Amino acid sequence: MAIRKIAETAFDRLKFACASTGLIVKRPKAVLLFLLSLLVFLYFLTFFRDGSSNWQLIWSGLAFDQKLEVMGRIFPAIAENFCSFYGATIILLSLIQALIIVHLAFAWRHRERDAVLNSASTSGVGAIFGFIALGCPSCGIGLLTPLLSAIAGGAAVALAEGLGYVFTALAFVLLIYSFVKLGYTNYVTIQAAKQK
């Protein structure tokens, strides 16, 4: 019975968060912030999607125009994200992060600083998990393998790859939690402002 009550409360708060999102994005500045944030997160996660090779090319001895070419070829790669499950996961993660940025800006503007700080820290951890799992999976595996080698020995690489799925799930849970919590706070703020 308690689980059902928690699920109903969570679903209600999700509905309020979605309602507040609809009210917030009616403002042109919020739409612009959302689109810019979405583009930044998509670009960043896609830039590191295949490991750190693009990053190494940027800091290599390439000519400036060649570095611009490396940076420019990320845009077609963003479009390719729509053609695979892995890419769709990157798009969905970027979308949630952009929505959180819009909600953070709205809450900060309306002096809900405690909610902003709490949600920013939770969504920040979610973004880190998302980057490790999706943005740079080879970097994440490279960071985890020495630690897992000490624990699991020869099975460390296989275990690290499996942890990528766990990190992806954790990223989504933390980001959705931040979105719901912040969206609900903003919904209450919007309704309180209407009552004045």
Domain boundaries, the chain: 12-195
How far apart CA 44 and CA 97 sit, in angstroms, is 12
Along the chain (196 residues), what's the average pLDDT of each consecutive run of 10 residues?
80 88 90 93 80 69 81 82 82 88 83 61 61 54 55 57 71 83 84 77
What gap in Å lies between CA 182 and CA 107, rounded to an integer?
8
CA R_g for the chain = 19
pLDDT at 34: 94
- For residues 33 and 38, give the distance between their C-alpha atoms in angstroms, rounded to a whole number: 8
Of 21, 5, 32, the closest CA to residue 99 belongs to 21
Amino acid 31: pLDDT: 93
pTM recorded for the entire structure: 0.76
For residue 116, which of 128, 103, 97 has the smallest C-alpha distance? Answer: 103
